[in-house]
A and B are shown apart, each in its own frame.
Chain A
Amino acid sequence: MDSGYWVLATVGIPLIAAALILFVPETPQGKDVVRWFSAIVGAVLFGISTYIFFRYQVGSDEQYQFFSRYNWLENVGFLGENGISLAFGVDGIAAPMILLNGIVCFGGALISWKIDHHNKDFFVLFWVLVAGVYGTFAALDLFFFFFWYEVAVLPMYLLIAIWGSSSAFETFARTKEYSAMKLTIMLVAASILIFIGIFAVFHEAGLGTFDLQELYLPENQLDPDTQKLIFPLFAIGCGVLAGLWPFHTWSPDGHVSAPTAVSMLHAGVLMKLGAFGIIRLGIQLLPEGAQFWMPGLMILATFNVVYGAFAATAQRDFKYMIGYSSVSHMGLVIMGLATMTVIGINGAVLQMFAHGVMTATFFAMVGSIYDQTHTRDMRLYSGIVHRMPLFVFFFGIAGLASLGLPGLAGFVAEFNIFLGTFQTYPWAAALGVFAAAMTAVYILRMMAMAMFGPPDDRFPDLKEMTYLERATGVLMLTFMLFMGLWPAPFIDRISETVRSFPGVS
């Protein structure tokens, strides 16, 4: 039984949790209540997400499972029957994304146990963010897609500006307020393009409804010239959130300044919303426009991959390195999408999942060491492995996954992407493989510099990770291995859906 209530619950539970947390008194006991409550909510969401993922049936007649729809606003003004409806459904692409969000938000809730300053406010905003992400992945209504998308952006300013950290280097400084504002304004400015694109699609379609399933029908396709006009709006608008070069600059700054759990969620899941938007609003809604513009997107994505890798190599700050590595790896996602082939898009979605888990692990680990030493400069560390062997273990596995070691998640994803890209744009694939190899350079060099080598007495009090952090690490690691060793459940779900897309060969 694939009841729509499960998906509804993934959006409803965090929202209700946020509302309930508002009423917890601000006492030491209250703080513990908030912690326990959030951990439980995280566990429940993780459970539901896992259930949705495995319960999703491959080979079913329905394109969207766990479907539910509630009329929200109809028969007024320009809105006709089903004008705006709260419609949710899961296809083979949304299923792994929902699982990813479940993993990361559970991990994030555990990692945030340490937060003490107004932890009530933190979790209110955190759960609103989580609800927005779940909502976007499952939304089947153009209005609500955008609604949830913005819900996911809305809490970011306060989350970063209140609980974030500033960084000061020899040559420049980034205050947390600066990064928070930059991130928020860039993302909201980008969403203007989506906003305008939605107006245009609704007006041109002339159906009086924002229902995506209705708009996807072949007979309701917009005419090709209009599609070509609108596609760049969605591609750039969503692309900014996906870290598309040259609009990626918010991402390293924002992720570095954000508190650990927010970095995890933002780099791990939120950036995927951008790529997901390119699929939902670009490839599915405007297939002709996608065909026309994809070569352009491929060029930008190639820049992403190469530029991100080089920039990551130059970093001395753990988080900046991970941030630029994210830019590079999200470039691979866009590359896969831009091939417009089944195998390429397949790889892109796999990479979205793989990158999500890896990056979340990275940020969780860095958070654990930063909380003790209050510096992220990797040159100051040496031989961490002597004091924190488990830390190095988790970090190392994530690093190996990120450089594409077979048997871990990253390999499966990158392999598919490059297969698709070699078929269509060999030059881009060549550059991409080169940049992916660069990952090995910066990851291994960082490991050699900071993790191994003689023990340093600069931080003699460095303690092993807390049990909650270890639990988070194990959680992430499980899924990295799961996808690396047995990718079939993912590939079955994704490729079945991708094959049904118009214009994908």
Chain B
Amino acid sequence: MTEGLNLDYSLLIPEFLLVGLVVAIVGLDLYAPKMKKTWLAYIAAAGLVAVGAVSLGYWDTDDNFANIIVVDDYTTFFRVFFVATAAVICLASATMVAEKFRHPGEYYALIILSTIGAIGMAASRELMTAYISLELLSFSLYVLVSYQKFDAKSNEGGLKYLLLGAFASAMFLYGMSLIYGITGSTYYSEIAVGLQNPTGDFQWAMLMGLVLIVTGLGFKVAAVPFHMWTPDAYEGAFPPITAYLGTTSKAAGFALMLVLFSQAFEVVHDDWSWMIAGIAAATMILGNLVALQQHNIKRLMAYSSIGQVGYMLMAIAALNSDTAQALLVHLVGYMVSNMAVFIVIIAWYNMTGKDEIADFRGMRERAPLLAWVLAGALFSLAGLPLFAGFVTKFVLFQSVWNEGFYWLIAIATTTSVVSLYYYLQIMRQAFVEKPAEGEESRLPVPLLMNGLAAALMVGVLYIGLYPQALFDVVEAATDVLFV
């Protein structure tokens, strides 16, 4: 059967390099015990950046590996996206991980492995491959969430994530098998053909398959009502891993959804669009309303990210080339803004050991740069101008509106105001409240954290003030999906 298939392994060089990086990191950790452990983070980050540079060489390629993995602009886009995210996460973890764990090598290795999984989700054009990539991502994350072995919350979060995640995977698999049963193929392109010419009265089986697949993916991106694991996993995880859950794990889910629904299921758009629209509405409303009641910053960010997922799901419900493009742009804007918030949370946690919202009081006095970055990034998440969130939300909402989902946009804009309320509450602690007695002094923020925060803020402002370049790149990336 391999005859006529393209088995060009050079297409997968970035993934091979990532695997090599994993081996190198673990090896260095074991065989160079005298090396300062923070160096592992720097090496991992440098390696990731290098892989990102290599991936850029595949821009304008349009080739596939045995029809199961495609390397085109879409894949390249997500390779760079995931690798960049992982690099930031590695840098942000450096101090904390070196202090807490004896063998941090595994930690970085797992992050890089999960990145490979995430890339696979974007690149695969075949259900089994997509599933295996999804599991690679998920398993790495299960371990990462429960990495603090002696911390009850970490164990609780990890266990919940593992059990519910496994359950979701099973549903996804079952949905796959139903779709396979109807269409006789696991290749996206052949599924599309099969669904176009139904061989019998399989309407209900197909719907069941779609429901199960949507459910399975809904778990991964934390859409309501499949979001229950999110707050606990977020709270229990190490702050950098929380950030990672909020960005890569979600982005990978959307990368898979986008390609799966546009390539395989587009012919039956009307059969799944309503489901996702309903889930999107529930996700926006519940995520933003429950966020109002949170006291812990990580739980708040968990619910706020659920709300953000709702906005993104709208784009899947109204899927066409415009919304796909808007979705990716929003994803980038969200990633940068969210990371900036988390860098502040991580830095603050490193210095004070606290992660309640009320503990942010007086941040303006104690770490001015962090406070300003926090304000800007939160404004961006709330969708206010000068920052990335305004233009990405505007374009996303407009593209969904153009498809006629007026009621969804009404919900989305209203819940955006709700989100502004709780973001302002965080800012109030940081700017308006005075620091507690005896804690007025300036905190020594490490240069690395200040630098990361400032760099991400520059990114937020760049997207917010002149996004043409980003839009052009994203257009090239999504064009390949809608030919």
Contact = CB atoms under 8 A, between A and B. Distances in A.
A349 B398 CA distance: 32
Contacts of B368: 26
A482 to B, nearest CB: 34
B384 A154 contact: yes
A74 B467 CA distance: 10
Interface in B368-408: 368, 372, 375, 379, 384-386, 390-391, 394-395, 397-399, 401-402
Contacts of B364: 118, 121
Contacts of B97: none
B410 interface: yes
Given A77-B471, A161-B428, A192-B417, A147 B398 contact: no
Nearest to B413: A192
Contacts of B11: none
Contact of B325 (A22, A76, A143, A192): A76
A203 B257 CA distance: 26
Interface in A55-85: 71-74, 76-78
Contacts of B399: 77-78
B208 interface: no
A-side binding surface: helix, strand, loop or mixed?
Answer: helix
B472 A147 contact: no
A105 interface: no
Nearest to B467: A73
A293 interface: no
A48 interface: no
Contacts of B431: 121, 158, 161-162
Interface string A146-185: 1110110110011001100000000000000100010011
A188 B420 CA distance: 9
B326 A151 contact: no
A113 interface: no
A199 B401 contact: yes
Contacts of A26: 368
Contacts of A188: 417, 420
A76 B401 contact: no
A124 to B, nearest CB: 9
Interface string B40-79: 0000000000000000000000000000000000000000
A189 B475 CA distance: 32
B398 A154 contact: no
A240 to B, nearest CB: 12
Interface of A: 22, 26, 71-74, 76-78, 118, 121, 128, 143, 146-148, 150-151, 153-154, 157-158, 161-162, 177, 181, 184-185, 188-189, 192, 195-196, 199-200, 202-203
Interface of B: 321-322, 325-326, 364, 368, 372, 375, 379, 384-386, 390-391, 394-395, 397-399, 401-402, 409-410, 413-414, 416-417, 420-421, 424, 427-428, 431-432, 466-468, 471-472, 474-475
27 contacts: A22-B372, A73-B468, A74-B468, A76-B468, A76-B471, A76-B474, A77-B322, A77-B326, A77-B471, A78-B402, A121-B431, A128-B386, A150-B384, A150-B385, A151-B386, A153-B384, A157-B427, A158-B375, A158-B427, A158-B432, A177-B432, A181-B421, A184-B420, A185-B420, A192-B413, A192-B417, A195-B413
